[in-house]
Structure 1
Amino acid sequence: MAEQQRPPIPLIDVAPDDEPAVAALRAEPGRLGLLLASARRTYTPLGLRSADKISRAWARRAATPLREAIEGVDRAMGRPGAYLLNYSYEWGCTSGAAEDPGHGGPTLLRTLDWPFDGLGRALVATRRQGVAGSYVSLTWPGYAGVLTGFAPGRFAAAINQPPLPGPFGKALGWPLARWRVGASRETPPSHLLRLAFDTCENFDAAVALLRQTPICIPAIFTLAGAKPGETVVIERTEHQAFTAPEPAAANHWASCPGPRGGPRDRVSLPRRAAMRALLRQEPDWSLDWMRPPIHVANTRLVMMANPASGRLVAQGFERTGPATALLEIG
């Protein structure tokens, strides 16, 4: 499909007193319907209702700054799915923060990957004014957290999914990870990243918040600031923080010493190696770096964002390739 024929990623400007997840839901009900239809195909209607009920029960016990926001999404949707969507945290990714002299500071390179059809086509961008300033979240209708965000003049950041706990593989590692979440009362990582964009005035403040705040499940945060040298990958367990030796991340631990656990999948090591190679070059804003092993069949989003210049480029993907037109800001 030619670039001009692909649907755009809508940029939704959110009123100061409005919740971005609800504003996106109202503005793009068709994209919400696309997500829910895909969820029903994947999990069955009964599975969707059951998972939403379990997520709702856990949400009542967990510490989160987004409790009222998710309750608002639930009311606006009027059907099961809001809690499952906002507490899913199932994405894998590749991210890197590269120095970009041509734009005055580092650029965040990010792909988001998940075997869930429709995420690329349903992608939206919300722009809201938080306490610390304006920021853009690449997200979906009804999703209140932030997985991929950009605050011009402050920082850009993304979350990667880390290894599963223990040497058991997915068969036992995934249920063990869910059990650990169910036993925790701490903040989900995507909700913490939303808090950083809302309240942190600069790169250093965001790094401190993400390093120090307990979370309910391990996560990997990649940040790029507005000044040269402001790049970091923070590898988080529930109560500890580690720093990777280079600002590149996939789905395995890179810090040494650091957390224990093998790569989440077989492509994680080569993907991070490819990202490290990209960081030694000036960032390519044409997105030509989106090729294997960084680009995989499950890639649903690619983004580049430079906080110093205020420039962002993003595109949604499905298994068949690009699913949206390029979104360009700045």
Structure 2
Amino acid sequence: MDPRNHTDISEFLLLGLTQEPELQPLLFGLFLSMYLVTVLGNLLIILAVSCDPHLHTPMYFFLSHLSLADISLSTTTIPKMLVNIQAQNQHISYTGCIAQIFFVLVFISFESSLLAVMAYDRHVAICHPLRYTVIMTPRLCVLLILLPLLLSIMDALLHSLMALRLSFCTNREIPHFFCELAQVIKLACSDTLINNILIYIVAGVFGGIPVSGIILSYTQIVSSVLRIPSVEGKLKVFSTCGSHLSVVSLFYGTGLGVYISSAVTDSSRKAAVTSVMYIVVPQMMNPFIYSLRNRDIKGALRKFFSGVALFMCFIYNVCEA
């Protein structure tokens, strides 16, 4: 039997962002805070959309699923990192590593596709306002969620199965805080040409097509806005796209920054640090972008907190009685 066969590998070592012991408590507190903010912020968006009938529209339907994807992506990576720091244990099982690769790819691809779907929704709302309800039917909205999710799962499953066929040598150290596919492939002793080609092809599909769709949608949106005679009308239309454009810029901007950083530096540890910018920061910032720039979301959150406060007062009065 070949001693390098992957069945001999039972675990990998996640080296994290730093090996300095004195920095571990700081990292634990920082990432725990970021994770809690991400989960609570996105959960509030989901609750606000669910509880307010005025937000039961396609735009907020897609937004709630974006928030769900943000929570899921953060939960796939950060809790394991926190457990490793707290336990001072860098190990992750072989199965756990493959599972982490799978779920990270699912939610990254799904989020990228969702941003393109949301751009299409804004395109229909602005360029075809009279036909909006006819085009964006509930059936189409559900289809625009299920189809990208299904494709993302198939993509992640393909990468995961291709990773399973790799053979690994004695080096099991992943210079990252989670099992990133590219870093795992670098540890393989067997031929990884097919895996690398697959990465570029799929990245082109799940990156290039959504970006092209977003650019095309906003090109037509700008063309429609420029035909509006009043400046006030133009600003009002652009304001409805501001939050989405901010999220798109943050998501793809940080991803591009990480790619450029990885290309110009030979340090895997520096690449791991910069990857925080696309795997953690956008998911944390999205709720703030939508809640601060969107009047409807702010109104729904005020109603939600008012309802919670009234409920707590009622419970308190009942207990006092």
Output the TM-score relative to the length of structure 2: 0.34
Per residue, is there more helix in 1 or in 2?
2
- RCO higher in 1 or 2 (8 Å CA, sep ≥ 6)? 2
Structure with greater strand percent: 1
Larger Rg over CA atoms: 2
